[in-house]
Amino acid sequence: MKNNKIHIILTILLPIQVILVQLAGNHSNIIEKYYSMWLYPLISSLFRVLFGSIPFSVGDIVIGFLLLILFRFLFKLIITRFKNFRNIFLNLTAFLSVIYFCFYLFWGLNYYREPLAKNLGYTKTSHTNKELLKTTNYVLKKLNFYQLEITDNDSLMVENKVSREKIYEMAFEGLRNLEKDYPQLEYKYSSVKSSLISTFQSYNGTSGYFNPFTGEAQVNNLIPKNGYPTTTYHEIAHQIGYAAEDEANFIGFLASNNHDDIYFKYASYRMAFIYLIKEVKKRDQHAFNKIWEDLNIGVIKDFNKSNAFWKSYKNPFEPIIKKGYDIYLKANNQPRGIKSYNYVVNLLISYFNIKFSLN
């Protein structure tokens, strides 16, 4: 009876929590000051200290355990033919209420913080075709430059021979350079892991994910390594409290670009070019063709290898999973859903314009 009362209370608290989170979302300045800049860094640092030294992904195991509990509830409903529906439903909603509370306390409120663009003095507003083309051509030249620096032959593909574990270490070390110019992106106590479910991630089309229940950055260790530095930094960006996908992408670019290692610099321009050229293709097919023709053959080979990798994992369930993630993002202050990743283009154009006066 006592447990039943607790479950009822937790069930009642679930919709109340949902309302409170939505109300909190209307006060981004308060979220920024008291949660994202004060409480969350304490929680995040604690998790990274607790789990960072463990060599395997604790978060993957936690996710597996939570899914097991969820399936157990559903299984009990089926085998009892819904005879004990009320109690099982209360157990399930009480469970979801606790998960919801932990998610937003441990990380989720960062979806409602002030925009990174405001913090850094950049703009996320749309840019003209002229600005887009100037930025894309600049990035193209830098991408070709670093490809040639690494291979000494514009027809050879860049091959990063460094181990994935070493890339995690290098990523942590490289953040010192970033913090000199962007102290708000300070990062302590590394906790980056290769995901135990990398094969599943490949099938659902994701390069990594951040686990809010353990504070670990999870990277899909099957993806081609030329994209590994920016993916690692993308997940680290989530770790330090930047939940929006375009902001995590931008931090991924900034961190890789500020690294001393040439492979990290190549990765930064590689990622920036991918998003910029996609936008060019949407706006101007002729300009897209011209820019693509100016790419070094070695860079094209790199992109072809990456495309072949993702194509090998194509399956009928991937669009369904992405649709679910799209709904999740829209429910968490990212109205453009999965398209939010692409809005890094505006941040990139603003960055290059301010730093190099391109436009």
pLDDT at 87 over 70: yes
First and final C-alpha spacing in the chain:
69
- Residue 329 pLDDT > 80: no
Lowest-confidence region among 52-66, 271-285, 323-337: 323-337
Cα–Cα distance, 58 to 63 (Å, whole number): 9
Q: Kindly state the helix (H) or strand (E) to which residue 59 belongs, with its residue range.
A: helix 58-79
Closest CA to 133 of 255, 285, 247: 285
> How does DSSP classify residue 295?
S
Question: Whose CA is closest to 314, among 174, 166, 202?
Answer: 202
The yes-or-no verdict on residue 3 having pLDDT over 80 is no
pLDDT per residue as tens digits for the range 163-175: 999 999 999 988 9
Region 268-275 average pLDDT: 97
pLDDT given for residue 123 in this prediction:
67
Contacts (Cβ under 8 Å, ≥6 apart) of 229? 167, 170, 171, 256, 259, 263, 264, 267, 268
> How long, in residues, is the chain?
359
Q: pLDDT (tens digit, 9 = 90+) per residue, 214-240?
A: 999 999 999 999 999 999 999 999 999
**What is d(CA 244, CA 126) in angstroms, rounded to the nearest whole number?**
17
Question: How confident is the model at residue 210, as a pLDDT?
Answer: 95
- Write the CB contacts of 326 (distance below 8 Å, at least 6 apart in sequence): 337, 338
